[in-house]
């Protein structure tokens, strides 16, 4: 598995997400314009871009946290419609990790991880707890299982959030700036967890400013500006030989110092 992380395009040709001609408006503001994107199973995509470019909105459309007005999104063969049942099905297949963790502060770490498997997947409590402990061990914090989120550091909370998503056994993981709210000391522990996940072949879409992470694990980098996909390429090419002027400017600013 570790090999596939180093060989960028070595993914299956099975389609995980297909976005066609997707458009979204906030009121009269055109946030996403003619987005076309195909994500193959096992692919690890990093989405970069200046703030306000619509990259968060794009991945939030994939699990219907935001509604799109035009075009279509197909996740795992299911076309996203406005039907609640359809949305809930897609959401239970797609895990999401947020910038501000969004753990449930009134539940323990273990309860955070077992809530959705028990009530959405209808898994018996004991089994759900075993699964949760398995993933908590994977993110290296099994000893915190009975504490509350407020007692953990930011990095630990974000790792719990990742474990919580994994407990639903999703086929696709979305990351919305997972390290932007963390102290520099804690960014690494979260990135390490994500790298490990990537090495196991999880399909990942990741909005992030961590270009080191993009170089290391992504097999495609997408650059967005003003609601459009401006450039996409393999990381090597993207960083060493950007084509679009806007991309060049962006890269010179974030890599320049």
Residue with tokens 């961590």: 210
| CA separation for the pair 161, 183 (Å, rounded) | 17
The torsion angles phi and psi of 101, rounded to 5 degrees, stand at 60, -50
| CA separation for the pair 37, 219 (Å, rounded) | 14
Write the interaction track for other proteins spanning residues 156-175; mark x where CB under 8 A is met and - where it is not: --------xx--x-------
Tokens describing residue 77 = 């063969």
Does residue 104 touch other proteins according to CB under 8 A?
yes
Name the residue nearer to other proteins (CB basis): 107 or 251: 107
Residue span binding other proteins (CB under 8 A) among the ranges 44-52, 60-68, 195-203, 216-224: 60-68
Q: Classify strands 228-233 and 70-75 as parallel, antiparallel or unpaired.
A: unpaired
Does residue 84 touch other proteins according to CB under 8 A?
yes
Applying CB under 8 A, among 37, 45, 46, 116 the residue interacting with other proteins is 116
Name the residue nearer to other proteins (CB basis): 49 or 117: 117
Please, what is the minimum distance in Å from the beta carbon of residue 111 to other proteins?
9
Does residue 149 touch other proteins according to CB under 8 A?
yes
Does residue 55 touch other proteins according to CB under 8 A?
no
Residue span binding other proteins (CB under 8 A) among the ranges 13-21, 146-154, 218-226, 242-250: 146-154
Q: Please tell me whether residue 11 adopts helix, strand or coil conformation.
A: coil
| Residue 29, CA distances (Å) to 12, 25, 224, 227 in order | 37, 5, 17, 10
| Residue 94, CA distances (Å) to 59, 112, 174 in order | 11, 17, 7
Q: Using CB under 8 A as the criterion, which residues of the chain lie in contact with other proteins when the complex forms?
A: 63-65, 84, 88-89, 91-92, 94-96, 98, 100, 102-106, 115-116, 119-120, 148-151, 164-165, 168
């Amino acid at each position: 598995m570790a090999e596939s992380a180093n060989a960028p395009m070595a993914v299956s040709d099975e389609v995980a997400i297909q976005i066609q001609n997707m458009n979204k408006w906030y009121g009269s503001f055109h946030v996403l314009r003619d987005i076309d994107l195909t994500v193959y199973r096992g692919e690890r995509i990093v989405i970069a871009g200046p703030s306000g470019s619509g990259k968060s909105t794009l991945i939030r459309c994939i699990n219907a946290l935001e509604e799109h007005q035009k075009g279509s999104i197909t996740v795992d063969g299911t076309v996203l419609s406005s039907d609640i049942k359809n949305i809930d099905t897609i959401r239970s297949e797609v895990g999401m990790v947020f910038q501000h963790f969004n753990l449930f502060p009134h539940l323990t770490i273990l309860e955070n991880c077992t809530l959705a498997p028990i009530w959405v997947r209808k898994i018996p409590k004991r089994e759900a707890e075993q699964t949760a402990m398995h993933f908590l061990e994977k993110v290296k914090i099994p000893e915190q299982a009975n504490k509350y989120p407020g007692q953990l550091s930011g990095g630990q909370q974000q790792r719990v959030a990742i474990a919580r998503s994994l407990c639903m056994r999703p086929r696709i993981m979305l990351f919305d700036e997972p390290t932007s709210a963390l102290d520099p000391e804690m960014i690494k522990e979260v990135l390490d967890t994500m790298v490990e996940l990537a090495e196991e072949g999880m399909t990942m879409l990741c909005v992030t400013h961590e270009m080191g992470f993009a170089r290391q694990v992504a097999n495609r980098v997408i650059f967005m500006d003003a609601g459009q996909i401006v450039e996409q390429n393999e990381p090597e090419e993207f960083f060493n030989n950007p084509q679009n002027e806007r991309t060049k400017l962006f890269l010179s600013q974030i890599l320049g110092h």
